[in-house]
A and B are shown apart, each in its own frame.
Chain A
Amino acid sequence: MNWLVELVLFILLLTTAVLALSVRDLLAAAAAATAFTFTMALLFVSMGAIDVGFTEAVVGAGIVGVYFIAAVFQTSRRTRD
């Protein structure tokens, strides 16, 4: 059971990673990256690392997400690749 959750999370992780790198809209990429970090946090928790998962969720997804959006707003949203 547990490993099934893990597998799903891994697949989600890979999907969001590829998505974050391939999307042309940087804001969407930021969202995908945040989703990636959040999935990562879930994965940590499923592996029993609750502290790490919590930190990843707060710091990784929260703060980095905000920074990401701030940075995108300060620069440009479009990208060529």
Chain B
Amino acid sequence: MLLLFTGLLVYATIHLPARGDPEAPMHRKENVVGDPVAGAYFIGNAYRDAATPNMVTVILADYRSVDTLGEVIVVFTAGVCCLLILRRRMYD
């Protein structure tokens, strides 16, 4: 099964765009059908939109803030889960 998995992945990767190629679909400004691609947009507009030089921060907390909200909630979930699993009562 692991071999099957490996074969599948290798098959997929040799058809992938080469690593670091700036013309890969992910890095281009427009995709095949002419829609803008998010990565290039972020690079070009992050500072303009939020006056923050760190693009990752802007994406994290603004463009894709719901992802981050979800992430915070994941951590919160983990906390509540551990409580639920290991603690006897919530408050002593």
Contacts and interface: CB of A to CB of B under 8 A. Distances in A.
Interface size of B as a range: under 10
B85 to A, nearest CB: 13
A67 B54 CA distance: 30
Main SS class of interface, B: helix
A2 B4 CA distance: 33
Nearest to A49: B56
A25 to B, nearest CB: 25
Interface in A48-81: 51
Contacts of B57: 51
Contacts of A51: 54, 56-57
Interface string B51-62: 000101100000
Interface in B40-92: 54, 56-57
A51 B53 CA distance: 13
3 contacts: A51-B54, A51-B56, A51-B57
